[in-house]
Amino acid sequence: MAAIEELPRNDDRRTADTGARCGPAGAEVKMLCERVSVFYGDKQAIKEADLDVRAGEILALMGPSGCGKSTFLRCLNRMNDFIPVARVTGRITLDDEDVYAAGVDPVLIRARIGMVSQAPNPFPKSIYANVAFGPRLHGLIDRRRELDELVERSLQRAGLWDEVKDDLDMPGTSLSGGQQQRLCIARAIATEPEVILMDEPASSLDPKSTEIIEALMEDLRQIYAVVIVTHNMQQAHRVSQRSAFFHLGEIVEVGKTKEIFENPQDPRTQDYMSGAFG
């Protein structure tokens, strides 16, 4: 299981009334990553990364294949725990709570930080059972009526309810690829998370399904903080408010997406944006 070593905390700006961290534009910082490094055995995959995740926005993690963006994403909800040789150092907090602290249940962390994988991966269960899986697992809801309402609400937020409301007993695997991905999004948000992680969520989908998923992302950011990994620069430009550019395990540059695309400050970012590598 991955272990994390705590480092001294940086000073941070807080709102006067709630004590919550705020970014430069005043947005609430839901997650804060300070000097985060990831090792697989002796190999260092992420090097001293600093980044924050803010409420009400989509943060895009960009960079060439193998640059560490998916590895970093998996740190946020402790998915690297499943890799025996993985080791994480630094500090990652969710609402000021250290997600790697002793005594913190990683299963509950993953309920608060939902994740959608690259390829649609519905369980071999009914549509209803797919969405209800998380709430049942975590004991969030006992009454059937409340569970019915949560399943409906989650499918509505995922933009799938109108298409499947009369077929909730149908296997989730019988849906189209785009519908399966939206089902996986509904499953991720059924635990009422605070942050949603998406790892290349549209890379295996056709253009129409991709358009639907991107529109859904915009809806989701009104409720959740959203982090996406993408190698598609056009997609990052379309959907995100901020972007972080990764290269060889380092976060080279972070800023407003428009500024990263139009006026990158680091030559490596500029070269990537111009197509010199990637």
Q: What is the pTM of this model?
A: 0.87
Supply the DSSP symbol for 11: P
Please say whether the beta carbons of 266 and 260 come within 8 A: no
CB-based contact 168:197 (threshold 8 Å): no
Each domain of the chain, given as residue ranges in start order, spans 4-273
Residue given tokens 């933009």 in the structure block: 159
Q: Which among 8, 71, 109 has a CA at the least distance from the CA of 250?
A: 71
Return the closest-CA partner of residue 223 out of 191, 194, 190: 194
Q: What is the DSSP string of 64-120?
A: STTSSHHHHHHHHTTGGGGSTTEEEEEEEEETTEETTSTT--HHHHHHHEEEE-SS-
Instruction: Provide the 8-state DSSP code for 224.
Output: S
Residue 204: band (very low, low, confident or very high) from pLDDT cuts 50, 70, 90: confident
- Quick check: 123 and 133 in contact, CB under 8 A? yes
pLDDT tens track for 149-179: 999 999 999 999 999 999 999 999 999 999 9
Fold of 4-273: Rossmann fold (3.40.50)
pLDDT tens-place string over residues 3-48: 444 433 333 333 333 344 655 555 799 999 999 999 999 999 999 9
pLDDT for the residue 132: 95
Please state, in angstroms and rounded to a whole number, the distance separating the CA atoms of residues 186 and 209: 15
Positive or negative torsion for Cα 196, 218, 134, 96: positive
Decide: helix, strand or coil at residue 254: strand
